[in-house]
Structure 1
Amino acid sequence: MSKMKLAVLTSGGDSAGMNAVVRAVVKAAILKGCETWIVREGYEGLVRGNSTDVHKSGEPHKHSHSVSVTSPRVKAFEGSDAESFVHNLRYGDGELLRDGTGDHPGGRTLKGRYIVRVGWDDVRGWFSEGGTLIGTARSATFRTHEGRLDAAKNMMKEGIDALVVCGGDGSLTGADVFRAEWPSLVQELKTEGRITEEQAVKHAHLKIVGLVGSIDNDMSMTDLTIGAPTALHRICESIDNINSTAYSHSRAFVLEVMGRHCGWLALMAGVSCGADFIFIPESPPDADNWADEMCKMIQSHRDVGKRKTIVIVAEGALDTKLQPIRADQVKDILSERLGLDTRVTTLGHTQRGGRPCAMDRILPTLQGVEAVEALLEATPDTPSYMIGVRENKITRVPLMEAVKMTREVAQAISEKDFEKAMSLRDPEFVESLEGFYSTATLESEPKLPHHLRMRVAIMHVGAPAGGMNAATRAAVRYCIRQGHKPFAIHNGFVGLLDDLVHHLSWLGVDNWMTRGGSELGTNRKLPDIDLGAVAAKFQQYNFHAFIMIGGFEAFNSLRILEQGRKHYPSFNIPMVHLPATISNNVPLTEFSLGSDTSLNALVDACDAIKQSASASRNRVFVVETQGGMCGYIATMGALATGACIVYTPERGIDLDMLRNDVKFLKRRYALDAKGKAEGRLVLRNEVASNVYTTEMIQKMFKEEGGSLFDSRSASLGHTLQGGIPSPTDRIRAVRLSLKCMAFMEEHHQAIQKQHTRSKQAPPESAAVITIQGTSVTWVPVTDMVEHADMKNRRGTHAWWDQHQELVEAMVARPQFLAKGVGKKE
């Protein structure tokens, strides 16, 4: 059976993460034994094909391997599948794709060539680049029958029978139309004599899979589109910078962000940055009084002393009569009615640019691998699939079903059926909109009657993590809106015993969304330092509900407090734990607040380190990360940075492992093109081993590397705990914090209905909020213990552990360590 020849193209508007898709597709396909090609300039490249197939001095182009398969080094691969891998190691054309002219000093050129064979090393390091290195264009020609006929001929000329398309709904629709027409196109080409009978038989069917590259996050049936998280990062960075000047001058800023038919960017930026008002197309304000409504809300904020005002307008914003709402229009209203010194900022294409964030490296990598699997499993009878994501799961859905639902949103808006438009968005979109108004609206009168109002205690426990302050802000704002009284407990349980407790105000937490660390202060002390005294303080302050934001220590504290209910009546109140730790080591939950911020800090640091290593050419950096006894940060960080080796506490380190690591690095560097070796990263969790330390591993690599490679070390330390929280952590913080408040309200009301003098809280009222698969789930702390490794302070099951195999696959470690390989190092 002949190997599949697979091509990948990017189409429509560019987005960060597209290069990660191309890299993952090329590498996964080569590992599966496929030939890999890229198509330059999207569908336009398919139409143009390779009209001028020339190499040096006008000679016909032949794919030139920098490593000859007859060289002494490569002969060592014989007798294993590694020989096939080395054959696909490097075609040398990937380097040309970075060159805007398409020319190379060595004489090679891509001019006139749009369908280019690439090898493993041609895409190395791509996922840290923004935009798309293979180019994109909106092709009017491909929309015509003649254009698609030329595209089919050009693909068959190269023998390509499978296509991965990364683009928006228009690009994916074009892919599905192309596949549907393929048999008739083949027949027409054969009739015209443009292809042979053999080609027609061999390429009777086309396999297609789509991935959604769009910064707007406007595709249905997937939670996130490729590029949307990075675009949100760019927006939030801009707003965070604007906040300081807005506060200094007591100004109002109106920001226009992208989103023609989808308000995701505007909504999530509003939630992440604590905006005062937002305009999105799915939920438009009333045409007759939206200006009054906006002015009333903003004036109420100013009345309590707020110095800055931020209004975010999606470019597709409109009112209920479908009249556009423009940033300049909003600016004039704020200036004229409220007398605010107002400025307009249109972020424009800055939202598309920049290096991809961690999520836009990890998810596109996983989706690219899944796309190759889908193509290999495809038959003429299976539909074209779109690869998406739901919470933490990579999914396959029928491509045209997703496109159809996406277009129904725009249609519903045009028909003024805004309720339907909102229903077609994912549940998190609706929750986020409700969360925005819950935290942005300052009510004149509390919503709840007096007997249902609570005194809510808020405490940070464990190490600081990004998102702790955002969660606290959301809880405080919700409390005040409902009529509850929020109390901050500073410095954990030690602070409670020292009476470091004070009432939090609506304005006092206003700027907390962008603050990293912990504004309340935190430590690792558990309540059993003096449980009786802690109970007395609960009684003294008459707490009706208690929320802990923190890591494994917070989970352990909740367990101790729940057990103490049988001895101390003051603990018979709703108590919740909202996981927040960069280690992501709380049992059962797949994500903790702070873990995304930490991953982004690691990516930024490793990008800089890798740049240094690459400048020095043959250098390996051993980078030490935090994470305690949990290897999440090291493993996912390795996937996000392209590290070639990762060490975690779960797997440990032994001599055989180190011996193989040295062997792998030697063989990898030996096969690098002369003068073009790259710097490489090795990530080591801080407690992966007590014996094989970072310094020891670095010295070993340096000694064993000899003339092939050098080695250095770097410890990231507490830099992974600091910095401004990522938008993802801020959004999660608001969403989960509000769910915690609703949970405590529900159980408080149930406890109040008890007719006994001594009220008893049921075990399920002490719970941890968790993200599991595609849902948010409450787990009683009593049920959590069986899933916890109390000694090592982590869960008994790590969902991310499987990705360590993917880290090794993406650097072809198994191929380089194949039996009989590299006898001549």
Structure 2
Amino acid sequence: MNGAVRAVVRTALTKGCDPYAIYEGYEGLVQGGHMMKKMGWADVRGWLSEGGTLIGTARCAAFRERWGRLQAAKNMIVNGIDALIVCGGDGSLTGADLFRAEWPDLLHELVDKGELSSSQISGYEHLTIVGLVGSIDNDMSSTDATIGAYSSLTRICQSVDFIDATALSHSRAFVVEVMGRHCGWLALMAGIATGADYIFIPEQPPNASSWGDHICSVVSAHRNKGKRKTIVIVAEGAIDSDLKPITAVDVKNLLVDRLGLDTRITTLGHVQRGGAAVAYDRIISSLQGFEAVEAVLDSTPETPSPMIGMTANAVSRKPLVESVALTKQVAVAIKNREFDKAMSLRDSEFKDYLDAFKTLSNIDSAEMKLASDKRLRIAIINIGAPAGGMNAAVRAAACYCLSRGHRPLAIHNGFTGLARHDSVKELDWLDVENWVIRGGSEIGTNRNLPDVDLGMVAYYFQKYAFDGLLIVGGFEAFLSLYQLEQARANYPALRIPMVCLPATISNNVPGTEYSVGSDTCLNALVEYCDVIKQSASATRRRVFVVEVQGGKSGYVATFAGLCVGASAVYTPEEGISLSKLAKDCEFLRQSYAQDEGQNRAGKLILRNEKASKVFTTEVIADIIREEAKGRFDARTANPGHVQQGGIPSPMDRLRATRLALKCMQFLETAQTHESGRGSSETAAVIGIIGAGVEFTSVKYLFDHEAELVHRRPRKTFWTTVRKVSDALSGRPDH
């Protein structure tokens, strides 16, 4: 929420508008006075790294009454406010649109009562409302993600990761209750991201008479395979098919009485709302806040109030009233036991993830097993630098194989390991059970391509009779797939379905807008830069030039700059010039002159490692020091391999899981079409394009979308992000 307020305030100022912060929600509108503060540029410095909401939030009974809204209208006009950007849930947004509908009548009443004159209301005949959705439940229809949801999910996953160690040590069961009265998003995503054994969500309640038997059978199956711990996640709104609540106590008693497990309950409560925002929430709050001001300026009296959301990986505007109405239909559908309808009102990813959880948890389901003649031998290999979520992808692929009756065969230490050491080992369920939360690569990885010894690679493909191949990795994985596809003409053993799952912090693989590991990298950078910025703020007059990884792709630097409020970002796509450095030095001089050393917010400049051969990180810091003339200082910082992350972020765990399962389904489908086994379409890259998942031939991507010299896609979708980042930092146009 603080990132959204910062973005609204600074965008409004750059557009020549007067921004006001209304403190304590609608209560501030009703009370007026000191609770309506005109904001300046410096008022929101440092807000990106602050948790909660610094302008406060509160439920307001008075605003629900007409007299309260009448007073709110008067206070707005007295302060010269004619537009309202509201960040909240469906209740707050509903109240805002009602306020807009009543606005003309409220003004007439204020004039009739003599509280305002006709001249005072002149120019304020219409109220503009724009909605931003701040909700940890991610329960708003018409948007893929709400502000705060991924930060909350991160808190949950961190807590469950800690609980996991205790559960493993004592061979205990833990029942974890998370928020979500009408929405099971947090419970579902946490269940996948932590490798939970079972979840309860309101959208798809279990059978009232048999849910106890089912959870016991699942938990028993996992324990019989050697699992020492049990994690069950319960949404606070969990119910059975008869709408009877299922509580954490109910689940605990069942596990104790039926299975004799030492079971404990953990209710996470409001810890789920706390802490600084993660990278993704900083990104969407900044982009949506910027767009909200644009929507205000585009609005006319006839324009329906818009809700700013995320659709297909981009900021979108949807009719606010329709979005709220769709959201409320979910609770109604659940109450009417129309559970299929409730599921349909969630986004398409929700069902995908629910199916994924069922696949990963019900490993011994006879219904999932294929006929023996349909079962495959599928190889899995990691190629390139480590990236957060690689292990989650391998785990998901292996679990899917085992649930279907396939045999997952891990190639350890890349193509070098295969060609020189015959390093193929079959994975079983217990091997990979806890990999979802581990960073790095459990099966090893390196940058060597198949041409390290293509003949030996093909020999081992034939020796182990691989029926399909999953390559998890970055640009080297992409090139590896292309080499294997091209070698099919000479090596029949390579004429099998093959798929590349992009996993790299650089997010530079053609055919996808998102690579597994990039979110973990951004979060590691955000934490690092928050600490560096704190150091800079303590000395008042210091700029840190931070060197960011990413190869020749500016993705990480661009988005990290938006997340940490960088004063400038240098990327390979744009390069660095003397004129650009001169303007940025002048910008820093002006900034320090204006705050006169009184502001505690430190300043950062992010430089991609390949942005320039001449203007290195050290050279830029030297130039800044020289140009500062002693008024401020500059230091360098290099997070290095910290950017590859430790524990993968929930987003990387989730997307790695979802994409890996779709890759396995691709290999199965391609395998069933014998005539196409050697065609280019059976060697593909999976990618997130907008809101969908697509497979694209590696040959097509190599020929048409890959910029091979710079090892990145020819098209970038984040160029507009830099413009927003510059606008919010105040950086002048170059």
TM-score under structure 2 length normalisation: 0.98
Amino acid across the alignment from 2:499 = V
Aligned length: 731
Counterpart amino acid of 1:339?
G
Of 235, 238, 263, which aligns to 1:314? 235
1:32 partner letter: K
- Verify the 8 A CA contact 1:618 1:677 in the aligned structure 2: no
Instruction: Tell me the secondary structure at the aligned position of residue 814 of structure 1.
Output: coil
Distance 1:588 1:248 in 2: 43
Match status 1:735 vs 2:658: yes
Residue 31 in 1 paired to residue 14 in 2? yes
Name the aligned partner's letter for residue 782 of structure 1.
K
Which residue of structure 2 lines up, in the alignment, with residue 186 of structure 1?
107
Q: In the TM superposition, what is the alpha-carbon distance from 1:761 to its structure 2 partner?
A: 1.9
- Write the distance in 1 (CA, Å) between the matches of 2:35 and 2:444: 57
Inter-partner Cα distance in structure 1 for 2:122 and 2:692: 47
Residue 189 (structure 1) shift: 0.6
3-state SS of paired residue (1:813): coil
Is 1:767 matched up with 2:684?
Answer: yes
Q: Which of the residues 197, 201, 208 maps onto 1:280? A: 201
Q: CA deviation at 1:654?
A: 1.9
CA contact (8 A) 2:279 2:563 kept: yes
Is residue 374 of structure 2 the alignment partner of residue 452 of structure 1? yes
For residue 51 of structure 2, what is the amino acid of its counterpart?
A: G
Aligned partner (choices 105, 122, 128) of residue 201 of structure 1: 122
Q: How does 1:471-490 map to 2 (within 5 A)?
A: 471-490=393-412
Alignment check: 8 A CA contact 1:602 1:637 kept:
yes
**1:268 offset after TM fit, Å?**
0.2
After TM superposition, give the deviation of residue 777 of structure 1 in Å.
Answer: 1.1
Instruction: Find the aligned partners of 1:145 and 1:404 in 2 and give their Cα distance.
Output: 22
Gaps of 5+ in 1: 1-17, 51-112, 818-825
Give the equivalent residue in structure 2 for 1:792.
710
Instruction: Give the alignment's Cα RMSD to 1 decimal.
Output: 1.1
Deviation per residue, 1:219-267 (Å, 9 max, x gap)? 1111111100000000000000000010000000000000000000000
Once the 2 structures are TM-superposed, how far is the Cα of residue 444 of structure 1 from its aligned partner? 5.3
Equivalent runs, 1:494-509 vs 2, <5 Å: 494-497=416-419, 498-509=421-432
Post-superposition shift, 1:760? 4.6
Question: Which moved further from structure 2: 697-706 or 293-302?
Answer: 697-706
Moved more, 143-152 or 524-533: 524-533
Q: Could you tell me which residue of structure 1 aligns to residue 484 of structure 2?
A: 561
Verify the 8 A CA contact 2:45 2:601 in the aligned structure 1: no
Q: Secondary structure at the match of 1:554?
A: helix
Q: CA deviation at 1:470?
A: 0.2
* Structure-to-structure mapping, 1:521-540, within 5 angstroms: 521-540=444-463
Moved over 2 A (4+): 673-678
What does residue 19 of structure 1 align with?
2
- Alpha-carbon distance, 1:674 to partner: 4.6
> Aligned residue for 1:126?
47
Structure-2 residue corresponding to 1:697: 620
Contact 1:466 1:722 (C-alpha < 8 Å) held by counterparts: yes
Counterpart CA distance in 2 for 1:147 and 1:530 is 77
TM-score, L = length of structure 1: 0.88
What amino acid sits opposite 1:775 in the alignment?
G
Residues 378-426 of structure 1: CA deviation (Å, up to 9, x unaligned): 1111100100102411110000101100110000000011011001100
Q: Distance in 2 between matches of 1:150 and 1:676?
A: 36
SS of 1:487's partner is strand
The residue type paired with residue 359 of structure 1 is Y
> Is the 1:624–1:716 contact (alpha carbons within 8 Å) kept by the matching residues of 2?
yes
Matched, 1:297 2:218: yes
Over residues 87-122 of structure 1, what are the superposed CA-to-partner deviations in whole Å (9 max), with x where a residue is unaligned?
A: xxxxxxxxxxxxxxxxxxxxxxxxxx1111111111
* 2:695 alignment partner, one of 770, 773, 778: 778
- CA-to-aligned-CA distance 1:725-780 (integer Å, 9 cap, x gap): 000001101111111011110010112xx5xxxx8522101000111122211110
Q: How much has 1:782 moved relative to structure 2? A: 1.0
8 Å Cα contact 1:618/1:678 also seen in 2? no
The secondary structure found in structure 1 opposite 2:729 is coil
Q: Which moved more, 1:548-557 or 1:531-540?
A: 531-540
Amino acid at match of 1:790: L
Structure 2 gaps, min length 5: none
3-state DSSP of counterpart to 1:507:
helix
2:637 to 711, 714, 727: 714
Q: Contact 1:493 / 1:525 at 8 angstroms: preserved in 2?
A: yes
Residue in 2 that maps onto 1:351 = 272
Q: State which of 41, 44, 49 in structure 1 corresponds to 2:24.
A: 41
Partner of 1:660: 583
1:791-820 Cα offsets, whole Å, 9 max, x none, are: 1111111111222222221122228x9xxx
* Cα distance, 1:657 vs structure 2: 1.6
2:390 to 463, 468, 487: 468
Alpha-carbon distance in structure 1 between the residues aligned to 2:214 and 2:451? 50
- Output the amino acid matched with 1:795: P
SS of 2:429's partner is coil
Which of 702, 717, 720 is the aligned partner of 1:802? 720
Rg larger in 1 or in 2? 1
Aligned to 1:486, the other structure's residue is in SS state strand
Alpha-carbon separation, structure 1, partners of 2:723 and 2:658: 32
One-letter amino acid matched to 1:467: G
Task: Tell me the distance in 1 between the aligned counterparts of 2:382 and 2:599.
Answer: 49
C-alpha distance in 1 between matches for 2:343 and 2:61: 32
Aligned to 1:649: 572
Once the two structures are TM-superposed, the CA of residue 595 in structure 1 deviates from its matched residue by 0.1
- The 3-state SS of whatever aligns with 1:728 is helix
**Counterpart among 379, 384, 391 of residue 300 in structure 2:** 379
Shift of 1:125: 1.1
1:13-39 deviation line (CA, Å, top 9, x unaligned)? xxxxx0001000001111111011010
Return the match for 2:510 from 582, 587, 590.
Answer: 587
Helix, strand or coil: the match of 2:120?
helix
AA partner of residue 417 (structure 1): E
- The whole-number CA distance in structure 2 between the counterparts of 1:248 and 1:698 is 49
Partners of 1:355 and 1:706 in 2: CA distance:
35
Match runs of 1:553-632 below 5 Å: 553-632=476-555
Quick one: distance in 2 between partners of 1:464 and 1:782?
25
Distance 1:800 1:159 in 2: 36
Aligned to 2:729: 811
Q: What secondary structure does 1:779 align onto? A: strand
* CA apart distance, 1:635: 0.9
Q: Distance in 2 between matches of 1:729 and 1:20?
A: 22
Kindly, what percent of the aligned residue pairs are identical?
58
Partner SS, residue 653 of structure 2: helix
* Worse-superposed segment, 385-394 or 599-608: 385-394
Task: Assess if the C-alpha contact under 8 Å between 1:613 and 1:680 holds in 2.
Answer: yes
Counterpart CA distance in 2 for 1:465 and 1:444 is: 32
SS in 2 for 1:202: coil
CA contact (8 A) 1:669 1:677 kept: no
Does 1:212 pair with 2:133? yes
